[in-house]
Amino acid sequence: MKKKILLFSVLLFSLLVSVKVLASTPNWGKSTESKPIGLFFTGYVQCQPSYYDSRGGHAVFGWFQYTNTADDSRYYTEAGINKYDSNIYTKSKVIRDIWGFGHEKAEFDYGFFWAGNGDNWPTPARIKEELNKDKLKGYSMLAE
């Protein structure tokens, strides 16, 4: 019985530490729906190039995009200068939902352009090339 309690305690502690680490990264995005009836969404993304993130290294810039809304444009933070840039770059935008019935739920996608360990920081031309891609890899969720 003591082994089961110890094992459960270790697993619970590991889970709590993992959640705390994920919540403490400066590279994140979120979507907030207006209340009470959800006519608008506010998208937000931020990144800090100097922070080494286990998901891909140093974030050069962050981006977000909604689908199934009145505005499907992609929005970007400014790009960091190098892997030592400790500024936090942010971008937010209020987006109008499609009003009425019969349309698909809005989806919020966000992500980052990763520079790995940061030794080969992308040139401005390379960053511009990434900004013009049709589809960027990111994280997807229903807009809330």
For residue 91, what is the enclosing H or E element?
A: strand 89-96
Residue 15 confidence (pLDDT) above 50: no
Q: Where are the domains of the chain?
A: 26-142
Better pLDDT: 48 or 10: 48
Mean pLDDT of 90-113: 91
CATH entry 2.60.60 includes domain 26-142: no
> pLDDT by residue (tens digit) across 29-58?
999 999 888 899 999 999 999 999 999 999
> What's residue 88's pLDDT?
98
- Confidence band of 101 (pLDDT split at 50, 70, 90): confident
- CA-CA-CA-CA torsion sign (115, 50, 61, 107): positive
Q: Do 70 and 97 meet the contact criterion of CB atoms below 8 Å apart?
A: yes
Point out the least confidently predicted range of 16-20, 66-70, 127-131: 16-20
Residue 135 confidence (pLDDT) above 90: no
Scanning 24-141, the segments in alpha helix (DSSP H) are 124-131
DSSP 3-state assignment of 4? Answer: helix
Mean pLDDT of 24-32: 95
Dihedral, CA of residue 51, residue 130, residue 104 and residue 33, to nearest 10: 40
Residue 113 confidence (pLDDT) above 80: yes
DSSP 3-state assignment of 119? Answer: coil
> What's residue 30's pLDDT?
97
Mean pLDDT of 133-139: 72
